Amino acid sequence: MKKKIILLSIIIGFVVFIFIYLNRIDLAPKKEVYETTIDTLNIPNDKFGEKVKYGRDLMLNTAILIGPNGTNGQYLGNKMNCTNCHQNAGTKPFSFNLINSHKEYPQYRGREGKVLSLAERVNNCIMRPHNGKPLPLDSKEMLAFLSYLKWISDQSKNDTFLGHENLKIEFPNRAANPDKGKVLYAKHCISCHSENGEGLMKPDSTTYVYPPLWGKYGYQPGSSMHRIIKQAQWIKANMPYNIAKWNKPVLTDEEALDIAAFVNNDEIHERPNPITFDYPYPQEKAIDYDKGPFADTFTEAQHKYGPYEPIINYWKSNGMKPIY
Ligand code: HEC
Ligand code: HEC
């Protein structure tokens, strides 16, 4: 009798083990993953792979291929590359990472007040940060961008990958200060992005060694990079270049906000195309967007520079969801 029970337990145990193994049931709590490896050697050698490769090339060499003097078309108004902000062609964590984008579109966007396809979202970046004109939706280039975004999304099987988000920062209970930012800019940024923010062009003038942060070849004020919270989250994780890392930043949260306030101060820094018509519904407007009307009583200056906590609390206590 005893033997039978032992044998039965072993069999049941074995069956349960096989079942768990086959179903890959993950009994451990899900581990948060911040890095993910995308190996370009895995790009297939077929027609789809060709598009993926061209898409990756467009991410890295945007200006050369579709810039103002682009070899394959002239769409951009400046010589920046997608990878200047979406670093490592959109695969670096906390660098406006694009690994999940293909899964997350079509998506409702408060800025336009409607659902946008991924292609329309790509065109947003071509028009605002690149100050350009939209790619035709059926162009070879747009299909290549989409193929690349689909491929990186399929490569990252990990649904707990968190590096596609922006780095969280704490808000001080004062406004971000462009004057303090100017001093910090001189210390941490000026050596590459230069005193007048124009960066450094390659000797052959095709694109930048160090991209511009303002001036008529920088991103438009309608770009998300122009929002102070968003830029601070990005620069804390990524700048100074090659030194800062998302988990080993150089700047504190306050410093990142002060620098972003200096870079994005439109009173001292010129930008192309200052006219934007965004956010048809004020209650869907990002709190650090600097143009009214707002769904609250705070000034444009407070929206732009903070302090942000009172705005966040106002929104929450009025049953609205603050976006930033
Ligand atoms: C000056 C910086 C900058 C440049 C250059 C830039 N982008 Fe963006 N891009 C952004 C920012 C900021 C966002 C918004 C990120 C966020 O909301 O967290 C964004 C968002 C996106 C998104 C949507 C991501 C998502 O999952 O919601 C796509 C797709 C995209 N960019 C593609 C491109 C492509 C393709 C290029 C080159 C043609 C490009 N971007 C160039 C700054 C830039
Ligand atoms: C050692 C040179 C270097 C330093 C120092 C540096 N950057 Fe950069 N920065 C770069 C490079 C190179 C890129 C493009 C990144 C890429 O293509 O991967 C870049 C990109 C950027 C971008 C996005 C692209 C654009 O032009 O809008 C911003 C914003 C930025 N840097 C801000 C800063 C700030 C703020 C500091 C100081 C805290 C700083 N950088 C320090 C080299 C530098």
Task: Please report the sign of the dihedral spanned by the C-alpha atoms of residue 168, residue 170, residue 175, residue 181.
Answer: negative
Gap from CA of 86 to ligand 1 centroid (Å) = 7
For residue 66, tell me if it sits in a domain: yes
Pocket of ligand 1 (CB under 6 A): 62, 80, 82, 84-86, 96, 98, 101, 104, 121-122, 125-126, 129-130, 145, 166, 219, 223-225, 230
Are 185 and 104 part of one and the same domain?
Answer: no
Q: Determine the length of the chain.
A: 324
Q: Which residues contact 89 (CB under 8 A, 6 or more apart)?
A: 56, 59, 60, 82, 83, 148
Domain identity same for 263 and 323: yes
If asked whether residues 151 and 173 sit together in one domain, one would say: no
Q: Are residues 172 and 149 in the same domain?
A: no
Last residue of a domain, one of 130, 155, 180: 155
pLDDT band at 92 (very low <50, low <70, confident <90, very high): very high
Q: Which residue has the higher pLDDT, 156 or 56?
A: 56
Choose which residue among 207, 229, 241 to substitute to test ligand 2 binding: the one with the highest number of ligand atoms within 8 A of its C-beta.
241
Last residue of a domain, one of 114, 130, 155: 155
Q: Which of 75, 101, 125, 271 to mutate to test the pocket of ligand 1 (most atoms within 8 A of CB)?
A: 125
The number of folded domains in the chain is: 2
Residue 138 dihedral angles phi and psi, to the nearest 5°: -100, 15
Q: What is the extent of the structural domain holding 291?
A: 166-324
Structure tokens at 76: 């951009």
Tell me the pLDDT band of 128, cut-offs 50, 70 and 90: very high
- Percentage of the chain beyond pLDDT 90 is 85
Residue in this structure with the two tokens 């406006």, named with its chain if needed: 96
Helix axes 140-155, 118-127, angle to 10 degrees: 110
Same domain, yes or no, for 63 and 196? no
Q: Where is the domain boundary, 93, 122, 155?
A: 155
184 within a domain of the structure (yes/no): yes
Would the pTM of this model clear 0.85, i.e. be above it? yes
Flag whether 226 is in a domain. Answer: yes
- Does 235 contact ligand 2 (Cβ within 6 A)? yes
Instruction: Rounding to the nearest 10 degrees, give the CA dihedral for residues 77, 78, 83, 87.
Output: -120
**Within this chain, do residues 185 and 301 fall inside the same structural domain, yes or no?**
yes
